[in-house]
Amino acid sequence: MTTTPTIHLNDGNEIPAIGFGTFQIPSDGSTYKAVTEALKDGYRHIDTAVAYFNEAEVGQAVRDSGIPRDQIWITSKLWLQDFGYEPAKTAIDLSLKKLGVDYIDLYLIHQPYGDVPGAWRAMEEAQQAGKLKSIGVSNMTPKIWNSFVPDFTVKPAVNQVEFNPTFQQKAIRQLMAADDVKLEAWAPLGQGNQALLTDPVITKLAAKYGKDAGQVILRFENQLGVIVFPKSVHADRIKSNLDIFDFTLTPAEMTDLIGLDTGKGQHDPDAPGVEQMLAGYDVHAND
């Protein structure tokens, strides 16, 4: 089994370059099964969130794996309902309890609206206390970034955003580079976008390297320094998504793939929609 390469964060921590995403995997045993499979295949980075409602199954799978805790990177995220200083403090402790761990490797502001400064202050304190190793943000556009991040005492280690070859987030990456903030890609395969998976530039490279389209895309993102966590519940796909480190795209091939950028994604964090998000995810319904 190959050791997953790591990416150096601005706080000194090393994050596995590829992880396993658990968004929309239900907590009916499916998350436990998928995470167990991912860990068995060699993943050492699991991405969950309070609003995924599956932290408990992620934590159980990690504990049952027999792999030492310090060899598995766990990411979770603070939901909108818990923004603000005091609510965030309580929510961090609740995530630790649900996951059944003493610390979380990376904790993110999930959607950057409302009392982000209060939530961030609680996260900074939790980091100082050793409850959180790294802290970061997600879904931040240049506009949102400039509204909050300049006032943070601790700069984010990552910004987790939608990213794939057709949406390469050039503007926010420029801002992030100033503080060496790494980009994490959600939907790194375009959420099953068939136009992307069948693009001639990608299929030609897949044929050349004996890989599938998804592996070419993930390798491209990895070579850009992007942290990726593709999601699947299919054992063969979970395994193949990890198998991207035995080939290297040439500079010319990277340039061709960079040329696929349209600058447009499926999700616009600058558009209104906070009420719908809050209505759709009540993370305390069963507390």
* 182 confidence band (pLDDT: 50, 70, 90): very high
* Domain annotation covers residue 33: yes
Dump pLDDT digits (tens) for 216-226. Answer: 999 999 999 99
Q: Which of 286, 232, 265 is nearest to 33 (CA)?
A: 232
Supply the residues annotated as catalytic: 52
Mean pLDDT, rounded, for 6-30: 94
Q: What is the pLDDT, as a whole number, of residue 24?
A: 86
The CATH number of the domain holding residue 70 is 3.20.20.100
Query: Is the residue at 181 inside a domain?
Result: yes
Position 286 in a domain: no
Q: Can you give the pTM of this predicted structure?
A: 0.94
Residue 82 included in any domain = yes
Residue 287 lies in a domain: no
Specify the number of domains making up the chain.
1
Q: Is residue 44 part of a domain?
A: yes
Q: Which domain holds residue 98?
A: 6-280
Residue 122, domain member (yes or no): yes
1 assigned to some structural domain: no
* Low-confidence winner among 16-25, 125-134, 211-220 (lowest mean pLDDT): 16-25
pLDDT in tens, 37-94: 999 999 999 999 999 989 999 999 999 999 999 999 999 999 999 999 999 999 999 9
What is residue 278's predicted lDDT score, i.e. its pLDDT?
A: 63
